[in-house]
Amino acid sequence: MQSEEVKRLARRCGFQLAGVAAVEPIREAKFFLDWAARGLAGAMSYLTDRRAEIRCSARSLLASARSVICVGKLYNAPLPYSVRFDEPERAWISRYAWGEDYHEVLRRGLTELLERLKEAAAEPFEAKICVDTAPILERAYAQRAGLGWIGKNTCLINQQQGSWFFLGELLVSLDLEPDTTPPDRCGSCTRCIDACPTNALTPVIYPGGPRYELDSRRCISYFTIEHRGAVPKEHRPGLGHHLFGCDICQDVCPWNHSAPETGEEWCQPREFAPPLDKFAAITETEFQNMFRGSPLERARYTGFLRNVAIAMGNSGHPRFRDPLIALRGSPDAMVAETAEWALGQLR
Using rule CB under 6 A, residue 131 touches ligand SF4: no
Question: Hey, what amino acid is at 119?
Answer: E
The residue sitting closest to ligand SF4, measured at its beta carbon, is 151
Among 10, 20, 97, 252, binds ligand SF4 (CB under 6 A): 252
| Of 254 and 269, CB closest to ligand SF4 | 254
Using rule CB under 6 A, residue 303 touches ligand SF4: no
- The CA–CA distances, whole Å, from 147 to 66, 155, 164, 235 equal 19, 12, 12, 34
The one-character DSSP state at 158 is B
Per rule CB under 6 A, count of chain residues that contact ligand SF4: 23
Give the Cα separation of 262 and 249 in Å (integer): 20
49: left (phi over 0), alpha (psi -120 to 50) or beta: beta
Exposed, middle or buried: residue 90 (CB in 10 Å: 0-12, 13-18, 19+)?
buried
Using rule CB under 6 A, residue 328 touches ligand SF4: no
| Of 22 and 204, CB closest to ligand SF4 | 204
Going 232 to 306 to 309 to 341, the CA torsion angle's sign is negative
Using rule CB under 6 A, residue 97 touches ligand SF4: no
User: CA torsion, points 87, 88, 94, 99, in degrees to nearest 10?
Assistant: -60
Using rule CB under 6 A, residue 346 touches ligand SF4: no
Does the active-site annotation cover 132?
Answer: yes
Which residues in 175-194 contact ligand SF4 (CB under 6 A)? Answer: 186, 189-192
Catalytic choice (132, 184, 277, 332):
132
| Of 118 and 228, CB closest to ligand SF4 | 228
Using rule CB under 6 A, residue 219 touches ligand SF4: yes
| Of 46 and 212, CB closest to ligand SF4 | 212
Give the Cα separation of 19 and 146 in Å (integer): 6
Nearest to 202 by CA among 210, 213, 194: 213
| Of 3 and 82, CB closest to ligand SF4 | 82
Catalytic annotation, residues? 132
Residues of this chain that bind ligand SF4 (CB under 6 A):
151-153, 186, 189-192, 196, 198, 200-201, 214, 219-221, 246, 248-249, 252-255
